[in-house]
Amino acid sequence: MTVDQALARIRPLISRDNEMGIRAWAPVLLTMPEVLHAVGLTANPTWATLRLETARGRREISLSATGRFPMLAGETDLTWMKRPGWVDARDHSPQPLWLSDPENKYWYRYLRQTRSLYCQLNAIQQKPEDSLHVFFTRALAAAESSGAERFVLDLRLNGGGDGSWNRDIVRSLIKSRYDVPGRLVVITGRRTWSAAQMLISELENFADVVFVGEPSASRGNVYGDSKKIVLPNSHLTVRVSSLYWQQSDPRDTREFIEVNVPAPLTFADYVAGRDPALEAAQRVGK
């Protein structure tokens, strides 16, 4: 079966707001032996045989199930993290900055060569010891004191959180000297979703922002805040959206917020440890 045929089998299982959800979750489901068996891709739910086309030719590899695996569907996308005992395509490449500390809710680093302040926000949540308001005040002060020409906010791993805290972020950014054309750059991707989508919608409405990378995984007007329901007979858990969030114009029917500077990640980039989105972000305004 081709990759496209396999994706067609997986597509109905993915809850999503747009096509970026397919890009985000299809690779995850395609590693689950129970899912592969359920959609008819394998004959046995405990193992799978893959036919690989490599530079050295075609070969087949059989992989057996490894047992239970922790959930990766929280507010931060941890599916990119290297796993102990697993082979990763970038094992022999340098660690890209955007994957260097995904479990840290928010942090920043000054990139001296391009005079950019890189800030990664991985969840719309508060650290008990370092609130979002205090953090962004400090990050923007660091950008100014270092003479940064641009402030780069990376939301690629941000799957949401509590959208009520976006106010602190937006206020900090629009009051800064980086709220001018070409100085405030936001990197989005296939897991920029939920409260992170609300954040970029507000930034689009109120700030002079340049979006770089891949389109977001949701849109400005969307249903959210799912409630958990346990079905009485099967005891299966389902979730149903309970609120309609209107962050954009009521006539806005866009499926996602498109980027101004497309910079998708290719497999070759991943293997080499390159980050085309951050490279593009550091060129904005030049």
pLDDT, tens digit (0-9, with 9 covering 90-100), for 246-286:
999 999 999 999 999 999 999 999 999 999 999 999 999 98
Percentage of the chain lying above the pLDDT 70 cut: 99
Does the pLDDT of residue 74 top 80, yes or no?
no
Strongest mean pLDDT among 3-7, 13-17, 58-62, 116-120: 116-120
Residue boundaries of the structural domains of the chain: 3-64, 99-281
For 85-95, write each residue's pLDDT tens digit.
Answer: 888 999 999 99
* Cα 141 from Cα 119, distance rounded (Å): 12
- The pTM assigned to this predicted structure is 0.93
**pLDDT given at position 203:** 97
Q: Per DSSP, which regions of the chain are E strands?
A: 47-54, 57-64, 106-111, 116-121, 150-154, 184-188, 210-213, 221-230, 237-246, 261-262
pLDDT of residue 72: 65
Residue type at 22 in one-letter notation: I
Judged by average pLDDT, the poorest of 58-72, 194-208, 216-230, 232-246 is 58-72
Contacts of 55 (CB under 8 A, 6+ apart): none
Confidence of residue 70 (pLDDT cuts 50, 70, 90): confident
* Level-2 CATH architecture, domain 99-281: Alpha-Beta Complex (3.90)
More confident residue, 31 or 131: 131
pLDDT of residue 73: 63
For residues 101-124, average pLDDT = 97
pLDDT in the model for residue 165 = 96
